[in-house]
């Protein structure tokens, strides 16, 4: 059984300055064809059982409730974790109630910053106070959990700004945070207009402050960019990090079935006329084994070496003995699991390069 499913909703009201995801301004010309093709794609798999379902984008909360329901109803009724990504300006009281009625039990809210000037720099269409009102609305609903996204390292953002964002986050008593450093992507508005990345020392100081402050407040830093209160892990994201299969449906979605990754077309025009047109990624067993290591070491749960050895027909400790020795101060072991300590997570990319150099 494939335990998880990601559905990509590629439409946005406007385009944020840092974004290079597959997204397009909502377009009536394509919408009904897109919806029809998406429903056909999902129904082709006749899914009867699902552990986690995630509607991401784009901006899923832009969909009307009837459109949302017609896509949602292609899936089984009972799903352990059903997350919808929302933007504050498109999540009103009625929509939130309808989501709950349709089995959604987790919202991931794109807040990005609680500073109105920085929100404007990012071309976000909401203010900080709008985001706070939506957070309070979610807290009053019967949703069992929710998350917000924040970004740090934004143009001209100071350490003081980061401290204020974290302090506002903590004052709102939110169960989960995904926090990312700004990456200047070539195809984003920032990339095209020559915005400079944040100074790397300042960015490292910001991240250290974020990590220490959230941990001191009782949050678990369970993945490089993810913090939660006990019991509020993102089960869906854990499926990616723990080397599980997942369906990816929709224009611009990626999935993995029987260990084989695929990317659906990112051309909305092509998707609307021909459907998903997946390209399968031809990975060798050792490439898949490396993917599993890269994902698992992002998390505090690390890699289960016994399972990895069985699945990838290798001996982790023997094969990577030189890397384990070189970074021995950064690795921790717990039974069959190996994981990185906080200092190791800070240099994860450097460590992974050394893993990749081993044939």
Q: List contacts with ligand SF4 (CB under 6 A).
A: 12, 15-16, 19, 21, 23, 57-59, 87, 110
Pick the closer one to ligand SF4 by CB: 86 or 297. Answer: 86
Under DSSP, the state recorded for 146 is: E
d(CA 300, CA 297): 7
Nearest distance in Å: CB 112, ligand SF4: 8
CB 166 within 8 A of CB 207: no
Nearest distance in Å: CB 226, ligand SF4: 18
**Residue 2's CB: how many other CB atoms inside 10 A?**
18
Residues in the chain: 359
Pick the closer one to ligand SF4 by CB: 19 or 295. Answer: 19
Pick the closer one to ligand SF4 by CB: 195 or 340. Answer: 195
Closest CA to 254 of 240, 270, 274: 240
Helices (H), 217-258: 235-241
Nearest distance in Å: CB 269, ligand SF4: 19
Nearest distance in Å: CB 2, ligand SF4: 25
Q: Is residue 124 classed as helix, strand or coil in its secondary structure?
A: coil
Pick the closer one to ligand SF4 by CB: 59 or 168. Answer: 59
For 247, the token pair is 């369906």
Pick the closer one to ligand SF4 by CB: 252 or 302. Answer: 252
Nearest distance in Å: CB 86, ligand SF4: 10
d(CA 179, CA 177): 6
Q: Where are the beta strands (DSSP E) in the chain?
A: 4-9, 11-12, 24-25, 52-57, 81-86, 106-112, 145-152, 176-181, 220-223, 226-228, 246-249, 254-257, 260-263, 279-280, 303-304, 331-334, 337-340
Pick the closer one to ligand SF4 by CB: 59 or 264. Answer: 59
112, burial (CB in 10 Å: exposed 0-12, middle 13-18, buried 19+): buried
Pick the closer one to ligand SF4 by CB: 57 or 250. Answer: 57
For residue 191, what are the contacts with CB-CB under 8 A and spacing of at least 6? 20, 184, 185
Nearest distance in Å: CB 18, ligand SF4: 7
Nearest distance in Å: CB 335, ligand SF4: 39
């Amino acid at each position: 059984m494939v335990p998880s499913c990601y559905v990509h909703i590629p439409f946005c009201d406007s385009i944020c300055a840092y974004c290079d995801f597959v997204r397009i301004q909502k377009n009536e010309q394509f919408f009904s064809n897109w919806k029809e093709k998406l429903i056909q794609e999902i129904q082709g798999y006749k899914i009867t059982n699902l552990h986690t379902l995630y509607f991401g984008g784009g901006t899923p909360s832009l969909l009307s409730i009837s459109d949302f329901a017609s896509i949602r109803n292609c899936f089984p009724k009972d799903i352990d974790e059903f997350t919808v990504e929302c933007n504050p300006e498109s999540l009103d009281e009625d929509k939130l109630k309808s989501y709950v009625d349709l089995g959604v039990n987790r919202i991931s809210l794109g807040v990005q910053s609680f500073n109105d000037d920085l929100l404007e720099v990012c071309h976000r269409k909401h203010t900080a106070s709008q985001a706070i009102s939506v957070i309070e609305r979610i807290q009053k609903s019967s949703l069992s959990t929710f998350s917000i996204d924040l970004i740090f390292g934004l143009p001209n953002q100071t350490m003081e700004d980061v401290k204020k964002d974290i302090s506002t986050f903590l004052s709102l008593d939110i169960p989960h945070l995904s926090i990312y450093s700004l990456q200047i992507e070539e195809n984003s508005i920032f990339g095209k207009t020559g915005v400079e990345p944040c100074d790397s020392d300042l960015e490292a100081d910001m991240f250290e402050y974020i990590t220490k402050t959230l941990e001191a407040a009782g949050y678990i830093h369970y993945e490089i960019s993810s913090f939660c209160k006990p019991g509020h892990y993102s089960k869906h994201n854990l499926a990616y990090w723990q080397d599980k299969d997942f369906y990816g449906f929709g224009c611009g979605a990626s999935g993995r079935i029987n260990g084989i990754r695929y990317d659906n077309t990112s051309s909305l025009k092509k998707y609307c006329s021909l459907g998903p047109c997946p390209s399968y990624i031809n990975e060798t067993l050792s490439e898949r084994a490396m993917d599993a290591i890269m994902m698992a070491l992002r998390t505090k749960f690390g890699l289960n070496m016994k399972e990895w050895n069985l699945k990838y027909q290798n001996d982790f400790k023997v094969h990577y003995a030189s890397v384990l020795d070189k970074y021995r101060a950064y690795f921790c072991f717990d039974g069959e699991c190996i994981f990185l300590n906080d200092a190791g997570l800070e240099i994860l990319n450097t460590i992974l390069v050394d893993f990749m150099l081993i044939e």
